[in-house]
Chains A and B, each alone.
Chain A
Amino acid sequence: MVNLFSSQDANGREPLRGRELAEASQWLRISAMTMTHHAGIGHTGGDLSAADILATLYLGGILRVRPDDPAWSERDRFIMSKGHCSGVFYSTLAARGFFPVGALKTHMDPLSKLNGHPDRNKVAGVEANTGPLGHGLPIAVGAALASRMCQKSWRVYVLTGDGELQEGSNWEAAMTAQQYGLDNLAVIVDRNRIQQGDFTECTIRMEPMADKWRAFGFHTVEVDGHNHEALFAAFTEAASTKGKPTCIIANTIKGKGVSFAEDKPAWHHGVPTSEQLHAAAAELGVEVPWLE
């Protein structure tokens, strides 16, 4: 694990696959939970559901980024639209080498760069200031248009929540993406089926989710959002799809990997106690990375 999270030679790091990527995903989970425990506030459920998606993108080598040169103009853009899951996002950026893993210990501390929601002007690797929902997809559409205007090959990825799609701005952006045939854009929906107050289907029904995206002109694929190989295949399919944007509906489990948090709306923003943190680490098969 030490080698994995060393910031040395971050640009040229070999992508992870198989068991290594699985272990890394578990580390992202316990890191996010530790940060939430430290801050006394956070979004554990969504951190855990998104961990495999972020691990595949950043540590599996899907994203062409240069942690040592975060503003590299040719980089792929990843927009974390579900910015409330900053714990797992920051952990991923640190794991990829954008900043030292030790900085994660300052999550939400006074004057820390690691605000509860990401700030692109403070944190290397963050492309957009998100937090209010429904902002990421329009920004991603703009970035995809820019890539085309500049005749570049870099691609744009955006991760949204599923409850987040209740914000109408997403569908405004989806219409634009379709109209302009943005095949350099991939939307990933973290379909964990739970939003803050309840299950999505008991709040505002989101099914049929895939049909919605197809109706909006997206090449749509549904995958197990915890299966790295399935995610790799989906990203490969997105990259080879011409003439239309792709939506990857990643079916996930909110609180994935931690039995007491799995599929429970209360863990949307549940904060683990010290005991729960150690219990989670044991279940995830990793160690609590730090605790103060």
Chain B
Amino acid sequence: MVGVTRMADQDSAQIVTDGLELELFDCRDAFSKTLEEMAAKNPKICAVVNDSVSSTKLKSFRSRFPERFVNVGIAEQNMVGVGCGLANGGMQPYVAGAGCFLTARAMEQVKVDLGYSNSNVKLCGMSSGMAYGELGPTHHSVEDVAWTRIIPNLAVVVPADPIETRAAMLYSEQHVGPMFLRISRMPVRRLLDENYRFQLGKAVQLRAGTDVTVITNGVLVSRALEAAEQLAVRGIQTRVLNMSSVKPLDTEAILRAAIETSRIVTAEEGFAAGGLGGAVAEVLALNHPVPMRILGLPDQFAPTGSADFLLEHFGLTASGIYSAAKELLGDNGKLRDE
């Protein structure tokens, strides 16, 4: 039984409202810019890519730090092993490539060379989820969270916006051990304040609520906030937790939400099985079962379509989250307990 303590000590963050919230950002820009900043100050920072110079947006890094930029070619198993070796030699490697290949192709290296070895390597899965929509399921990285989160020692982080991407990158430099960072290329709104600081293992409450909680991360956070707005119109107060740290998981925040709101919806840009929803369900089932909906891809590969089309197709939208919350709450959005 995981104890629920520090009930009042809720980690929350202000949602930005400075006019920039309508602009759209590619989190890869925050990733590459932050990595360059880090490398400028820390001579141990280096980057490893699998020919993915442009798709990781590391061209500028290569120009500024050519001696700390390794392109192993199209060879993901080797790339992860090289990262492990660089760490053995005292460097702090950021191994970056399209998430679909980086995880699936190199999974044994991720398990053994990074997780089991507890290597100080940061694995950056670029263009995660269904960002490569039309290119098809070969290029979707929707299994990665399920695969990585069960590996001991490996932290798994899914940032929501450019601010959190930058904050997670800065955090990762100080974190000794392997970490998987899921970096999206889907245009996202800026959600978090400039002063936001990422904390591994801590959920961030982006909206207070007592009727239902939506636990989400990545590109779905903004959609969850929209859903919460729509639910508020119906008088339903929705708590929104940004669970960017899938591992370690903030079990306290999950149990607090279960106790205080009695209903949980999870939403993720990945398979519903095994990912964030699965992780939350494990905590609830063992400690405090409450009615739950897990939004994600069903047990099927995606059809052809753009990233936005596919999110819509699988109900990974504000309206999909809205519907799931209403379903949990019962009759036409009226609170069952009223």
Seen from chain A, the residues whose Cβ lies within 8 Å of a Cβ on chain B are: 73, 77, 79, 119-121, 127-132, 134-135, 137-147, 149-150, 156, 168-169, 172-173, 175-176, 179-180
Contact = CB atoms under 8 A, between A and B. Distances in A.
How many of chain B's residues touch chain A, expressed as a range? 20 to 34
A142 B118 contact: no
Contact of B88 (A121, A127, A175): A127
Interface stretch (B5-13, B108-116, B243-251, B322-330): B108-116
Contact of B78 (A131, A141, A150): A141
B90 A141 contact: no
Contact of A121 (B80, B89, B112, B117): B117
A138 B117 contact: no
B85 A141 contact: yes
A132 B117 CA distance: 13
B95 to A, nearest CB: 10
Contacts of A180: 70
Contact of B89 (A143, A173, A176): A143
Given A142-B83, A146-B90, A135 B113 contact: yes
B105 to A, nearest CB: 10
A134 B90 CA distance: 22
Contacts of A127: 88
8 contacts: A128-B88, A131-B112, A138-B77, A138-B84, A138-B113, A144-B85, A176-B82, A179-B73
Nearest to B70: A145
A138 B90 contact: no
Nearest to B115: A129
Contact of A172 (B73, B88, B113, B116): B73
B310 interface: no
B73 A143 contact: no
Contacts of B91: 145-146, 149-150
Given A128-B117, A129-B117, A147 B77 contact: no
A15 to B, nearest CB: 25
Interface in B57-108: 67-68, 70, 72-73, 75, 77-91, 93, 108
Contacts of A169: 75, 77-78, 81, 109
A146 B83 CA distance: 10
Contacts of B77: 134, 138, 168-169, 172
Interface of B: 46, 48, 67-68, 70, 72-73, 75, 77-91, 93, 108-109, 112-113, 116-118
A186 to B, nearest CB: 14
Closest 4 CB pairs of A and B: A142-B85, A146-B89, A138-B81, A172-B78
Contacts of B72: 172, 175-176
Contact of A138 (B46, B85, B118): B85
A100 B286 CA distance: 45
Contacts of A134: 77
Contacts of A79: 85
A129 B113 contact: yes
A131 to B, nearest CB: 7
A75 to B, nearest CB: 10
Given A141-B82, A149-B67, 4 more contacts: A77-B88, A127-B88, A142-B81, A145-B86
Given A169-B77, A172-B75, A176-B82, A138 B89 contact: no
A135 B112 contact: yes
B108 to A, nearest CB: 6
Contact of B85 (A121, A129, A139, A179): A139
Nearest to A150: B90
B68 A149 contact: yes
Contacts of A135: 81, 108-109, 112-113
Contacts of B90: 73, 146, 150
Contacts of B78: 138, 141, 169, 172-173, 176
B89 A129 contact: no
Nearest to B67: A149
A145 B82 CA distance: 8
Contacts of B46: 149
B116 A129 contact: yes
Given A120-B117, A149-B67, A176-B73, A143 B86 contact: yes
Nearest to B82: A142
Contacts of A175: 72-73, 75
